[in-house]
Chains A and B, each alone.
Chain A
């Protein structure tokens, strides 16, 4: 995490940490681990989609890291870059250290290895990403939609999502709020 947003007293140490973490990961996983990326809010490490399960297990079980909690797993669509990103946030409560890992999956056929065997919490979070972004989590034992109904068409959080005109006969056509005539207003 960048200093400004880091846990008080940890900021700088963790900033240096991410470089150290990246070096250790690179030594273990080689080219599957990318360089540290600098963001405006936090820095992150990019990992290949077919190696994320190994990296996650390593970060969770290795005594040097011990990221025992997965606080978030979410996704974001980047059509202009041609990939869908899955974002993992880990926390080690002992040291207060936080880490963000991102995985870029090909937009046409997005496949990412599951981490549900590392953190059980990933089960529903991956189902949510599957539901809303259509990412196929390889190895997930129960990959079903979690929020939308099972017979829903499409993945609404994709930028090119087109809404169906109706759902089981219920029209989804909505009047634009800007086109409504308000009496007395020209």
Chain B
């Protein structure tokens, strides 16, 4: 009682899990990963109008400092191998957002000999954002969905069996 009386301005109660998730979702640093035209929309999303900074998101130039990979553009087979290496360099917990038709399924280049039709063939994807290209509003929604997903995570409980996870 005496503690609460001594800090009367504000008291928050929360669960540890939620606090952890809330801090993580509010500082989602993303790796610059523009592969084609979608990258222009990603830059727009980072610009002042849709302003990713308000989610605590900041672009990073290296995978080792990133939490999120936004795959924005056409993934060629040559790049697919490098994408996998970059993904493996990111520290856990890490997330992947596939932006645009090309990253989702190869888009209009999917029958091309040099194109990997879908980034999920190489790395696991958390959120898919459809569109060619998705507008900044769509990418922002995708990122908010990812934040919702992050809030559902439980870090302090070990699941009993993989099936119930």
Contacts and interface: CB of A to CB of B under 8 A. Distances in A.
A81 interface: no
B78 interface: yes
Contacts of B80: 167, 170
B147 interface: no
Contacts of B117: 174
Given A148-B78, A167-B77, A172-B77, A177 B111 contact: yes
Of all A-B residue pairs in the complex, the 9 with the closest CB atoms, nearest first, are: A149-B78, A167-B77, A156-B113, A163-B113, A174-B117, A170-B80, A170-B121, A168-B81, A170-B116
Given A156-B113, A161-B113, A163-B113, A170 B122 contact: yes
Contacts of B121: 170-171
Contacts of A172: 77, 113, 116
A50 B21 CA distance: 68
Given A170-B122, A174-B117, A149 B77 contact: yes
21 contacts: A147-B114, A148-B114, A149-B77, A149-B81, A156-B114, A161-B113, A163-B113, A167-B77, A167-B80, A168-B81, A170-B77, A170-B81, A170-B116, A170-B121, A170-B122, A171-B121, A172-B113, A172-B116, A174-B110, A174-B111, A177-B111
Interface in B98-125: 106, 110-111, 113-114, 116-117, 121-122
Interface residues of A, number: 13
Contacts, number: 30
Secondary structure at the B interface, as helix, strand, loop or mixed, is loop
Interface string A121-162: 000000000000000000000000001110000001000010
Secondary structure at the A interface, as helix, strand, loop or mixed, is loop
Interface string A162-186: 0100011011101001000000000
A170 B119 CA distance: 10
Contacts of A167: 77, 80
B36 to A, nearest CB: 14
Given A149-B78, A168-B81, A174 B106 contact: yes
A120 to B, nearest CB: 25
Contacts of B106: 174
B49 to A, nearest CB: 35
